Structure 1
Amino acid sequence: MGWKSSTFVHLLYFLSILLGGFFINIIQALLFFTLKQINKDLYHKINYYLTYGVQTLLVFLVDWWCKVELRLHMDDETNKEFGRKHALITLNHTYEVDMFTGWLVAERTGILGATKGVTKKSLAYLPTIGWTWRCSDYIVVNRNFDKDKEVIQKTCNILGDYPFPTWMAVFPEGTRFTATKHAASMEFAQKSGIPTLKRHLIPRTRGFVQLVQSLKGKYPVLYDYTISYNKKEGAEPRFYDILCGKPMICEIYIRQFNFEDLPDDDEGISEWLQQLFREKDELLDSYINTGSFTAENTHPAHPVFVPERRPYSLLNTGAWAIVMLYLLVVGAATMIKSGVIGVVVLILGTALAFYGLQVMISLTRVDKASQYGISSHKNSSHKNK
């Protein structure tokens, strides 16, 4: 591991994200208020590469820094057209790096710049990545369904008109899995007469129902990812471990569903999602127990595809890191030469950068996750159906 665990290297990477992200954000903002008002298709095509530029700064961590080995379990028919059409993606959210590995699938499939998602409003204010989401038709929710319903409908109408395939990724559990949240979720399930799950939280259906109804007729398929990690051969799926370059092995069982086969009504879609998660629970439980998704259930075993690593996240991140390193050296030399005030500014700037790095690490930790899954299940007014 060695130098990959160096705080200076981590700071250089963090500042490179900010530098590259801010630069791209400025271009996105200019195009958002000008070109998008004139030619939306051209804006979407250009913004694809701008979004890709920001997201590869983060995907670099799992793609090249810790060199995640990605094993996709899916049938030949699914693999044949994977990434070639609009798709809704459902993922389980068990570990703090699930978003990164979901992006990694998109990167190695060649569709990362066209990957969308659902994010809470507070995250959409984050510098670089949050601002990119706001310019790229991510669904930004307030966790107030009356408001979110209109946002979902409006955004899905826009996505259906994109001139190239897009993926809309969603975590139906609504938050990351923790033991406390799982206990609250299972208590809610028992009171509501819903079958309990061992490895997942009860999925939150209202937003998903609206998403499916809004995308029907626009998106042809839904891909379900059941994500797990081989912790016997690879590192723990923690953000700090990948920041230190520890290699991980990620395995994903992927199933394809045709949108036209999904129910149309609220209750039907809700029950379909509940059944999907019961099946995901079987797959994940089997993997955790045996190292195989299908050893302890009747789901079919699929061929394993290992998509090739592409050079773009390495080139993009490397270029910004070189620019950032040059600016740091020149800036530090200038401040030191300027005297005491310059040295004080340098120290304060370094401390601020270090604090920002710690905030980024903290945001990914499971033990720092939001209380959303706990409070909402305890709320008697919560509606899961």
Structure 2
Amino acid sequence: MSQTGSEGPRLRKQTDTGSKADLPNGAPKSTKDDHPLGPPQFGALMQLLRIVGFAIYFLGSCLFIHFAQILGTPLYFLSKDDFYAYMALTKQYFGLLVTTMTQWWSPTLVRISGDKSVAGQLHQEADGSLRVHFPDRLVLIANHQIYTDWLYLWWIAYTNSTPTHGHIYIILKESLKWVPIIGPAMQLYGFVFMARRWAKDQERLRYRLQKLNSRHAGPLSGEQREAQLDPMWLLIFPEGTNLSANTRKASAKFAAKSESADLKHQILPRSTGLQFCLQETRDTVDYVYDCTIAYEGIPRGEYGQDIFSLRSVYFQGRPPKSVNMHWRRFAVKDIPIDDKDAMYEWMVARWREKDELLDKFLETGKFPASVEAVHIENGPDDAFKTPYINTEVKPRSPLEFLQMFAPVSAAVLVARIAVQLVDRLLGR
């Protein structure tokens, strides 16, 4: 569910890193050409070339990755442990795809910060790249601003000190299950599809969480390796959908009905799904990690989905001026996961704190942050330390993306050699 507010102010071009002052409520909406980031960076011809290049790279890579998944499906009947390990490898490929796709078509500053609860866990290496030191098993919650939120969170998993971009699991709406190529691929990845009918979703979620709580021997299990828990980043958007005018109206309606205060910059969250996940994983997960996401360039009262569309971000050259991610963590033992009402109050309290963070961001262009949370390699002395890591989405190596094409290319090569051998044996 979501919240509502007054009609958004007229969009204006912004030239500084902070936000502008509020405009009067009821001011007219912006026109199509009145974009806060100004005119498109690219003309019509270049936009067309970018669309073609994007389609070739994204769809072509998706096909290679999905074919790689299909090549590995027989492993399920031979060794489930090896099957899950292989699917995690192909999931890493998709993490590489979204990382390179963002770097090439939508480069932007990413500003990382946190509070004292993540002290020392946000690290910037000497080459400027990000490295986070998060557990390999956690539940991750985030506010849902625009459709690309999950891309940046998947990239964060890629930057983890023990990379977990092959072990990220996302809870999605059921309709995405039937998207061609992408839907079957996500099913093989073990993503959880929710019909938003709890009686049906509960058993589906329990089955998936039991799988994620089971121990596997990992690849090469024939060597009598000890079974252990696989890494797991379980990503949940408690709001259930992204922020928009319609979802804000629904949130305000719910707030009025329940006689509670509405939020200003988010949708009121739901707690049932998160509570159930924490109950099922309480013995294998110690922390909930919370990310508050904000995109620079969205005027107060407007919605990110209207500013940063697929076309404007990837094809017109108008990505956010910066993507800001503020991190906190909470110990599961301190969360009232066995009390439904207390759990909901805990959830809403966290979202009100996030609302305050977003309000500060709109005022200053940055989140309030703790110096203790970050470490910058070869950075300034203590007296001049900054609580922010300024970085960008990029792979560790420019050629790392070629891994995506390796399994299918190898299979084609082996098949070609086999055909040639058969031809020779038969004297053709």
TM-score (norm 2): 0.66
Alignment pair present for 1:103 and 2:154: yes
The Cα offsets for residues 228-274 of structure 1, whole Å up to 9 and x where unpaired, read as 12229xxx543323312445311111001112221132222222111
Conserved 8 A contact 1:90-1:225: yes
Q: CA deviation at 1:307?
A: 5.4
CA distance in 1, matches of 2:111, 2:79: 39
Cross-structure match for 1:252:
325
One of 79, 86, 107 as aligned partner of 1:46 = 86
CA distance in 1, matches of 2:80, 2:318: 42
CA distance in 2, matches of 1:9, 1:178: 27
Q: CA deviation at 1:65?
A: 2.7
Alignment pair present for 1:88 and 2:139: yes
Compared CA separation, residues 150 and 315, structure 1 to 2 (3 A) = same
Q: Which has the higher helix share?
A: 1
Conserved 8 A contact 2:99-2:395: no
CA distance in 2, matches of 1:144, 1:312: 44
Where do 5+ consecutive residues of structure 1 fail to align? 324-385
One of 312, 325, 329 as aligned partner of 1:241 = 312
Cross-structure match for 1:199:
265
Q: CA deviation at 1:178?
A: 1.1
Amino acid corresponding to residue 175 of structure 2 in structure 1: S
CA distance in 1, matches of 2:184, 2:295: 30
CA distance in 1, matches of 2:60, 2:70: 16
Amino acid corresponding to residue 259 of structure 1 in structure 2: V
Cross-structure match for 1:65:
105
% identical aligned pairs: 25
Amino acid corresponding to residue 40 of structure 1 in structure 2: K
Where do 5+ consecutive residues of structure 2 fail to align? 1-40, 124-131, 216-228, 299-306, 374-386, 409-428
CA RMSD of aligned residues (A): 3.0
Q: How does 1:133-172 map to 2 (within 5 A)?
A: 133-161=186-214, 163-172=229-238
Alignment pair present for 1:27 and 2:101: no
Structure with greater Cα Rg: 2
Amino acid corresponding to residue 93 of structure 2 in structure 1: G
Conserved 8 A contact 2:171-2:194: yes
CA distance in 2, matches of 1:270, 1:317: 45
Alignment: residue pair count: 315
CA distance in 1, matches of 2:68, 2:101: 24
The Cα offsets for residues 342-364 of structure 1, whole Å up to 9 and x where unpaired, read as xxxxxxxxxxxxxxxxxxxxxxx
Secondary structure of the corresponding residue to residue 137 of structure 1: coil
Compared CA separation, residues 142 and 129, structure 1 to 2 (3 A) = same
Q: How does 1:298-309 map to 2 (within 5 A)?
A: 302=373, 303-306=387-390, 309=394
Q: CA deviation at 1:38?
A: 3.5
Q: CA deviation at 1:45?
A: 1.9
CA distance in 2, matches of 1:269, 1:36: 38
Cross-structure match for 1:229:
295
Secondary structure of the corresponding residue to residue 292 of structure 1: coil
The Cα offsets for residues 49-79 of structure 1, whole Å up to 9 and x where unpaired, read as 2112234323323233322322211243443
Cross-structure match for 2:24:
none
Q: CA deviation at 1:179?
A: 2.2
Conserved 8 A contact 1:173-1:204: yes
The Cα offsets for residues 263-317 of structure 1, whole Å up to 9 and x where unpaired, read as 13222222211111111111111111222323xxxx8575223456324686527
Conserved 8 A contact 2:157-2:165: yes
Cross-structure match for 2:168:
115
Q: How does 1:332-351 map to 2 (within 5 A)?
A: none
Compared CA separation, residues 188 and 63, structure 1 to 2 (3 A) = same
Compared CA separation, residues 316 and 128, structure 1 to 2 (3 A) = farther
CA distance in 1, matches of 2:312, 2:82: 40
Conserved 8 A contact 1:228-1:252: yes
Conserved 8 A contact 1:54-1:132: no
Cross-structure match for 1:287:
361
CA distance in 1, matches of 2:319, 2:262: 34
Compared CA separation, residues 317 and 99, structure 1 to 2 (3 A) = farther
Amino acid corresponding to residue 87 of structure 2 in structure 1: N
Compared CA separation, residues 106 and 168, structure 1 to 2 (3 A) = same
Amino acid corresponding to residue 324 of structure 2 in structure 1: E
One of 261, 282, 289 as aligned partner of 2:334 = 261
Compared CA separation, residues 54 and 126, structure 1 to 2 (3 A) = farther
Conserved 8 A contact 1:229-1:237: no
TM-score (norm 1): 0.73
Amino acid corresponding to residue 257 of structure 1 in structure 2: F
Conserved 8 A contact 2:93-2:404: no
CA distance in 1, matches of 2:404, 2:193: 31
Amino acid corresponding to residue 218 of structure 1 in structure 2: T
The Cα offsets for residues 114-139 of structure 1, whole Å up to 9 and x where unpaired, read as 21100112112223332221011111
Compared CA separation, residues 28 and 287, structure 1 to 2 (3 A) = same
Cross-structure match for 2:395:
310
CA distance in 2, matches of 1:213, 1:23: 37
